[in-house]
A and B are shown apart, each in its own frame.
Chain A
């Protein structure tokens, strides 16, 4: 069982669709993250959840809505996206939400294409 899993691995959606990305971590970690990775750009932190509470929202548009029902699962709900939202969406987790030196473990990502 890999540490952090994400589904689906690939997603194509229209601008009027509603879809959700799922992340699950099997590492017993307490913090989870959503990142966006666009071509030629750095990984951009979107959201941070610590013990199921959102502790960081990096000025992400409201068309992205995260949900963390428990410490092992993280969702990213998508609606009325734009073509420029096409990117690789990566989930990560770390053990200690307070420690600034904890290694983050990444999932394989969901490749999202918005038509």
Chain B
């Protein structure tokens, strides 16, 4: 079966670093995406990993280990505007089909 697991909620402090984990079990793997979704808004693309290792993009980094079926999103120097839901999604088959996790709701506190 297809399964994406990520924590439901997390809380962190402004200026700190937070790591959001995602584990997956899918029948195939063509890449892993992270999306950010503010309440009432569209999910927006953050990162894409297909090879093992760390991809850094400004304050956000994403890591992938295909052998472990594991990824994390690392957010540095947290800002209040980073409070949002973070969605992990795996491209697990043909026809560009994304399988999403339930999302992790991150609350950044002063």
Contact = CB atoms under 8 A, between A and B. Distances in A.
Nearest to B30: A100
B95 A48 contact: yes
Interface residues of A, number: 29
A101 B91 contact: yes
11 contacts: A4-B42, A31-B96, A43-B43, A43-B89, A56-B95, A94-B96, A101-B48, A103-B33, A104-B45, A106-B42, A108-B40
Contacts of A97: 95-96
Interface of B: 4, 8, 30-31, 33, 35, 40-45, 48, 50, 87, 89, 91, 93-103
B45 A101 contact: no
A103 B35 CA distance: 10
Contacts of B4: 42
A101 B31 contact: yes
Given A94-B96, A100-B30, A107 B91 contact: no
B96 A43 contact: no
Nearest to B102: A42
B44 A106 contact: yes
**Among the interface residues A90, A98, A101, which one has the most CB atoms of the partner chain B within 10 A?**
A101
Contacts of B48: 101, 103
